[in-house]
Chain A
Amino acid sequence: MTVEQDCVALDQFPVGMRVLAVDDDQTCLRILESLLHRCQYHVTTTNQAQKALELLRENKNKFDLVISDVDMPDMDGFKLLELVGLEMDLPVIRVTHGACDYLLKPVRIEELKNIWQHVVRSRFDKNRGSNNGDKKDGSGNNEGVANSDPNNGRANRKRKDQYNEDEDEERDDNDDPSSQKKPRVVWTVELHKKFVAAVNQLGFEKAMPKKILDLMNVEKLTRENVASHLQKFRLYLKRISGNQQAIMANSDLHFLQMSNGLDGFHHRPIPVGSGQNVLQNPTDLGKFHHVSSLPLNHIDGGNILQGLPMPLEFDQLQTNNNKSIIAGNSMAFPSFPTQQSSLPNNNNHLVLEGHPQASPSAFPGHQINKRLEHWSNAVSSSSSTLPPAQNSNSIIIGHQFDVSPLPHSKPDSLEWNTQNASSSYSIPFCDSTIPLTSSMNTNPRAFYRTTDLDSNANVQPGVYYDSSQMRQSGNYGPTTDAMLSSNPKEGFIVGQQKLQSGFMGAEAGSLDDIVNSTMKQEQSQGDLSEGDLGYGGFSSLRTCL
């Protein structure tokens, strides 16, 4: 299909649509400009995000759509998106070379010819009174293009197909929600863990929403949800890598806050899990939202979630059994057949035992994904202080929150390290000292968490993210795999423990992988004490909130 044909295929709307293109890279900007011209759009370009904002503010009606690069030095695309989305109702499409659900570089004409649909959709939604905005939403901008492959041509074609497929889905999704109040998906820790595991398995750069969705195997989760989340995640990682130090303490929360701020997440009704759960109804999630806006930084522990019931979505998700381990605080915990069998922990910690019964979504074949590793590494490129070049940031999502008040301030890495099992290790994943898998070559004990899974509440929410965290997660990674094979549940559980928020072990696997891969590189056990990680797991930032 030639460029001309592609453009001609466009009908109605697009001609003359006014697009503002922002990219600090002149080469890409020039190409983008030309592509847009070819589509008969009216194009204005700038290579500075600030300038773009000025142009936009100058006259809010001057543009119909903004296409922006995400990794620009002066302001990242994500932020631009936020600002643009908040100040003016413009749909923004992001362009990146990473694997993400936005337009990926190299930008192709086929994708551009469809971008006008974002404008239409956005306006349509506005007319309906609910401005969900694909602008802010990953799903709206989800082009489903992944360009990590060396095989650009093939990848491009695949992406294009995906994109087309995505377009349809998006449309449906957008239409329905606006009419029915849009059930939103809450990205709980466990869900996030699954997500991370899936991404890990696929390879960060290659991870596409559809495949991730398939791997996650979660009912009622749509590709758009995944795409949106993936985008946020990637952006978050990028940001994290930029502020590694700052984020160390509260990466999860940070991520969550970011997400919430953008209102990007879709909520979906939280299914009430098993009877024993103290489940919170979906409205509770709202609480989380609010909570998330609290700076988690090290809160004295940061137990924002204190007292908040943890949603059991994870139960729902788990096909296998949902025995929820209900902590005193109503933390629902998917029950894993723990060796100890007494999971419920009274301190609101999810006690994840290394049960092999692993959550349904256990990631079979979850393995440390080198790509993920790279990805994580990329995120935390700085890490001079952190031993492993981990990008703990990336995994941040797995942050665990303690529902109950935790002794905060420092992740109990020490505790974790020293205790072998029974004590709650607050930082299951992060503990670099605990080698989850043989590959990690850290303490084998780590994996044996199963015995001590009694989630300790010492998970400090704030600490999760820092490179050390990543490291720990790294440990997890390899171990997870190993564990998974032998005891999949365990793997998850370990991760989960941290999740006091009722995060199920299943996700742990993924998180572990991530951690593992990152950890692989570094082996300093001691780093864990640096503590900041309590666990990179995604413990559902949402819940933490």
Chain B
Amino acid sequence: MLGFGVDRLQADINRLLTSLFHQGVLDEQFLQLQQLQDETSPTFVYDVINIYFDESEKLLRSLRLLLMDREFSDYKKIGLHLNQLVGSSSSIGARRVRNVCVAFRSASELNNRPGCLRGLEIVEHEYHYLKNMMHELFQLEQQRLLAAGVRYPM
């Protein structure tokens, strides 16, 4: 029974991942991340993704504050934040988030405020979508580990 549950969960995980790849939400870099996880760092993916979430949310909050300010004019700062988002998103394989960040960055380069606001909305949307998917993935993973009799350090 235990094994059965594990298989089913594993299948769910695979299905989810395939779907995410298919949608372009994730790319091959995510696979690299998975490959870096091993017995010496068994929760590597989880840890890195969480770091990514923390950092990204700080950046997104900062971006929103900047843009909401009526007297906002510091496009350069937006660009800097976006550079970081682009870098970290591409590092974890979050392709869609990265792409919309690049588009957002273009708007900021043109000092296009409405474009930036729109860009931010889109980035926030994609980011939250990714985050939800990752949570789901981690939950499945954790269940799978439990089913397989492994403790998943939370």
Binding site for B on A (CB under 8 A): 2-4, 24-28, 30-31, 34-35, 37-38, 69, 71, 73, 96-97, 105-109, 147, 150-153, 156, 241-242, 374, 376-378, 380-384, 389, 391, 521
| B86 closest partner in A (C-beta) | A97
When the two chains form their complex, are residues B110 and A377 in contact, meaning their CB atoms are under 8 A apart? Answer: yes
Do A25 and B55 touch across chains, with their CB atoms under 8 A apart?
A: yes
Point out which of B80, B84, B108, B109 has the most chain A C-beta atoms below 10 A from its C-beta: B109
- The residue that A27 contacts in the complex, of B24, B27, B55, with Cβ under 8 A, is B55
Q: Of residues 46 to 88 in B, which have CB atoms within 8 Å of A's CB atoms?
A: 47-48, 51-52, 54-55, 73-76, 78-80, 83-84, 86-88
Task: Give the most central of B32, B35, B79: most A CB within 10 Å.
Answer: B32
Residue among A107, A108, A381, A521 making CB contact with B76, cutoff 8 Å: A381
Residues from chain B with a CB closer than 8 A to the CB of A97 are 83, 86-87, 90
**Chain B residue with minimal CB distance to A29?**
B51
Which of B10-18, B91-99, B146-154 makes up part of the contact surface?
Answer: B91-99
Contact A377 B84 (CB under 8 A): no
Chain A: minimal CB distance from B12 (Å) = 24
Pick the residue among A34, A380, A384 that contacts B36 (CB under 8 A): A34
Is B27's CB under 8 angstroms from A28's CB?
no
Interface status of B28 (Cβ within 8 A of chain A): yes
Closest to B29 in A: A106
Provide the bound-state CA to CA distance between A69 and B80, in Å: 13
- Interchain residue pairs A-B with the least CB separation, the first 8: A377-B109, A153-B28, A27-B88, A97-B87, A381-B76, A382-B76, A381-B79, A106-B91
Q: What are 6 A-B interface contacts by the 8 Å CB criterion?
A: A27-B52, A30-B48, A105-B91, A150-B95, A378-B79, A380-B109
Residues of the A chain whose Cβ atoms lie less than 8 Å from the Cβ of B36: 3, 31, 34-35, 38
The answer to whether residues A31 and B91 also contact, given A152-B28, A241-B76, A381-B78 and a CB cut-off of 8 A, is: yes
User: Residue among A25, A106, A109, A376 with the most chain B CB within 10 A?
Assistant: A106
Instruction: Kindly identify which residue among B87, B90, B105 contacts A378, using a CB–CB cutoff of 8 Å.
Output: B105
Chain A hits for B142, CB < 8 A: none
With contact pairs A24-B84, A34-B44, A156-B28 given, residues A374 and B109 touching in the complex (Cβ less than 8 Å): yes
Instruction: Say whether B75 contacts A382, CB under 8 Å.
Output: yes
Cα distance, A380 to B87, chains bound together (Å): 19
B91 touches A3 (CB 8 A): no
Residues of B close to A377: CB separation below 8 A: 106, 109-110
| Contact among B51, B84, B93, B108 with A152 in the assembled complex (CB-CB below 8 Å) | B93
B79 touches A241 (CB 8 A): yes
A residues in contact with B90, CB < 8 Å: 97, 105-106, 147, 152
The answer to whether A378 and B91 touch across the interface, beta carbons within 8 angstroms, is: no
| Chain B residues closer than 8 Å to A521, beta-carbon distance | 110
- Nearest residue (CB) in B for A109 is B32
A3-B35, A152-B29 known; A389+B87 contact, CB < 8 A: no
User: Which chain A positions have C-beta within 8 A of B93?
Assistant: 106, 152
* A377 shortest CB reach to chain B, Å: 3
Which of A3, A25, A27, A374 has the most C-beta atoms of chain B within 10 angstroms of its own C-beta? A27
A31 to B48, CA, bound (A): 7
Determine the distance from Cα of A27 to Cα of B80 in the docked complex, in whole angstroms: 16
Report chain A residues within 8 Å CB of B99: 150
Inter-subunit contact A25/B88 (CB<8 Å): yes
Chain B residues contacting A69 (CB-CB under 8 Å) are: 87
Which of chain A's residues have a CB closer than 8 A to the CB of B48? 27, 30-31, 34
Return B35 CB to nearest CB of chain A, in Å.
Answer: 4
Binary CB contact string for chain B from 19 to 35 against chain A (1 if under 8 A, 0 otherwise): 00000100111001101
Quick check: A389 and B111 within 8 Å, CB to CB?
A: yes
Q: Select from chain B the residue with minimum beta-carbon distance to A375.
A: B109
Give the distance in Å from the alpha carbon of A38 to the alpha carbon of B39 in the complex: 12
Asked if A28 and B91 make an inter-chain contact with CB atoms under 8 angstroms apart, the answer reads yes
Besides A25-B55, A31-B33, A150-B99, 8 other A-B contacts (C-beta < 8 A):
A35-B36, A105-B86, A105-B87, A150-B98, A241-B79, A384-B111, A389-B75, A389-B111
List, in ascending order, chain A residues with CB within 8 A of B55's CB.
25-27
Q: Tell me the minimal C-beta distance from B56 to chain A in angstroms.
A: 8
Give chain B nearest CB distance to A194 CB in angstroms. 25
Bound-state CA distance A272–B93 (Å) is 50
A381 touches B75 (CB 8 A): yes
By beta carbon, the residue of chain B nearest A370 is B106
In whole angstroms, how far apart are the Cα atoms of A55 and B93 in the complex? Answer: 31
Cβ contact within 8 Å between B95 and A34: no
Residue of B nearest to A30 (CB): B48
| Highest count of chain B CB atoms <10 Å: which of A25, A96, A241 | A25
Please indicate the chain B residues that have their CB under 8 angstroms from the CB of A241 in the complex.
76, 79
Residue pair A27, B35 in contact (C-beta under 8 Å): no
Q: Which residues of A contact B95 (CB under 8 A)?
A: 150, 152
Within the complex, what minimum Cβ distance (angstroms) separates A41 from chain B? 14
Residue of B whose beta carbon sits closest to that of A2: B35
Once the chains bind, are A30 and B51 in contact (CB under 8 Å)? yes
Shortest C-beta distance, A177 to chain B (Å), equals 33
B84 CB → nearest A CB, Å: 5
Residue from A105, A109, A242 with most neighbouring chain B CB atoms (10 Å): A105
Complex formed: what's the CA distance from A2 to B35 in Å?
7
Chain B residues, CB < 8 A from A147: 90
| B35 A71 Cβ-Cβ under 8 A | no
Q: A109–B32 Cα gap in the complex (Å)?
A: 8
Q: Are B28 and A389 in contact (CB under 8 A)?
A: no
Q: Contacting A25 at CB < 8 Å: which of B79, B87, B98, B111?
A: B87
A151→B75 CA distance, assembly (Å): 27
Q: Are B83 and A71 in contact (CB under 8 A)?
A: yes
- How many angstroms from the CA of A147 to the CA of B93 in the assembled complex? 12
